[in-house]
């Protein structure tokens, strides 16, 4: 089935009558997924938005409950706020699609289900578009993704000359496909596969990082220029750490959670002054280890999808692919040394 380029606006206008359709576009000087308005210019030629789509499921700030004192009884009350709406994420790339697998693992498994996340997750439909170009920081293929195709998406689009090939991949996708039909025609356009130009061997990175001791010089050299600004965690589609805080006015307020960053020293600082990760070296190491080692240990998948945002946005050019390369080399060197000893 083909969706012609000129029909795209009509389709999105139709879809957004019933649901909120998030499309990649420019908002306040940055690209992100935001609700579709027909007069806006979408950024579909963009390789990746600057901001990942994680805030659809895990908003930057999310109210959890209102609290206060009841006027009559004088008792404290707690009113949970669980918000959700039918949402369509349109134009998501394979890497960001894969990031939802990571968020699902963190929020929905291991004993506790995060109902705030689940409420949004259940009502999200995803329409992925295969990449037609790659940027110099894209390395999703090295992390096991296919830039042309996202198997997790409900509907997959691929762009070719004049239009998109449309394929439903899940039940949810089949249902939504009915809405596509009036705007589509039979047939297929020819599409060309793209491939990443940045490649790194991440196949053994977990084991290799296990070989390198915490005190290894690699962590000194990787962290010395880090500013602990937290940009990498902010733009990362899989970073999911959060803080819980409140906004209070007199005797009522709202307790909310908001994105936090493991790059900040306050993140682990305890009352009384002890901090288990006091140096930026400890924090940089923890971040990379969480991405490439700890998360796999716990959930069976890498917490890096190869979108390249952290590489592109880091003000001092800290590069996770450089870390992977160096860790591979150093681990191999240690193993060879151990074999000779």
Partner 1 sequence: MPEIEIAHGCANGGEPFIPQVCRIKEIIPETHDVKTFRLTTLDGKRPFDSKPGQFGLLSFISEGECVFVISGFGEDYIQFTVKKVGRVTTRLHQMEVGEQVGVRGPFGNWFPYESCKGMDMLFIAGGIGMPPVRSFAQYCIDHREDYGHIDYVYSASTYADLVCKEDLFENWPKVPDMNVYVSVYHASEESEKKGLTESYTAPFLETLGIEASENRAAVVCGGPSLYRTCSESLKKLGFADDHVVTTLEMRMKCGVGKCGRCNIGSHFICLDGPVFTRAEIAQMYTTA
**CB 275, min distance to partner 1, A:** 8
- Per CB under 8 A, residues contacting partner 1 are 64-65, 67-69, 75-78, 80, 106-107, 110-116, 210, 214, 240-244, 246, 248, 251-253, 255, 257, 260, 262, 267-272, 274, 276, 286, 289-290, 293-295, 297-298
b/e string for 288-325 if b means 16 or more Cβ within 10 A? bbbbbbebbeebebbbbbbbbbbbbebeeebbbbebbe
Q: Give 29 or 111: the residue with its C-beta nearer to partner 1.
A: 111
**CB 268, min distance to partner 1, A:** 5
**CB 278, min distance to partner 1, A:** 12
**CB 58, min distance to partner 1, A:** 10
User: Which is nearest to 160 in space by CA: 188, 191, 131?
Assistant: 191
**CB 340, min distance to partner 1, A:** 23
Tell me the torsion sign for CA atoms 194, 198, 201, 202.
Answer: negative
Neighbour-count burial of 216, counting CB atoms closer than 10 A to its CB (0-12 exposed, 13-18 middle, 19+ buried): middle
**CB 64, min distance to partner 1, A:** 6
Q: Give 6 or 252: the residue with its C-beta nearer to partner 1.
A: 252
Q: Give 67 or 216: the residue with its C-beta nearer to partner 1.
A: 67
Q: Give 26 or 294: the residue with its C-beta nearer to partner 1.
A: 294
Neighbour-count burial of 44, counting CB atoms closer than 10 A to its CB (0-12 exposed, 13-18 middle, 19+ buried): middle
Helical residues (DSSP H) of the chain, grouped into ranges: 8-18, 94-108, 115-122, 171-180, 205-211, 217-223, 231-235, 280-289, 295-299, 309-313, 320-340
């Amino acid at each position: 089935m083909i969706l012609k380029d000129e029909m795209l606006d009509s389709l999105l206008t139709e879809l957004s009558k019933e649901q909120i359709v998030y499309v990649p576009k420019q908002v306040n000087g940055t690209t992100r997924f935001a609700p579709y308005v027909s007069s806006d210019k979408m950024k579909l030629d963009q390789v990746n938005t600057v901001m990942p789509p994680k805030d659809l499921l895990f908003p930057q700030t999310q109210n959890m409950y209102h609290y206060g004192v009841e006027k009559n009884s004088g008792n404290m009350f707690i009113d949970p706020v669980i918000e959700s709406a039918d949402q369509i994420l349109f134009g998501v790339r394979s890497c960001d699609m894969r990031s939802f697998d990571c968020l699902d693992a963190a929020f929905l498994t291991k004993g506790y289900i995060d109902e705030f996340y689940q409420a949004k997750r259940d009502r999200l439909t995803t329409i992925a578009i295969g990449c037609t170009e790659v940027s110099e920081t894209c390395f999703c293929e090295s992390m096991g993704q296919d830039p042309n195709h996202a198997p997790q998406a409900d509907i997959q689009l691929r762009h070719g000359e004049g239009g998109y090939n449309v394929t439903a991949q899940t039940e949810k996708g089949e249902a939504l496909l009915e809405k596509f039909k009036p705007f589509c025609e039979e047939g297929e356009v020819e599409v060309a596969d793209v491939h990443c130009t940045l490649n790194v061997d991440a196949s053994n990175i977990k084991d290799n990082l296990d070989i390198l001791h915490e005190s290894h010089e690699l962590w000194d050299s990787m962290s010395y220029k880090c500013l602990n600004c937290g940009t990498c965690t902010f733009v990362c589609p899989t970073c999911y750490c959060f803080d819980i805080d409140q906004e209070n006015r007199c005797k009522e307020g709202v307790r909310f959670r908001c994105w936090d960053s493991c790059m900040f020293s306050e993140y682990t600082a305890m009352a009384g002054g002890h901090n288990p990760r006091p140096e930026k070296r400890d924090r940089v190491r923890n971040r990379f280890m969480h991405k490439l080692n700890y998360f796999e240990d716990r959930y069976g998948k890498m917490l890096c999808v190869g979108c390249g945002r952290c590489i592109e946005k880091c003000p001092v050019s800290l590069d996770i692919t450089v870390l992977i390369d160096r860790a591979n080399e150093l681990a191999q060197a240690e193993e060879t040394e151990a074999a000779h000893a």
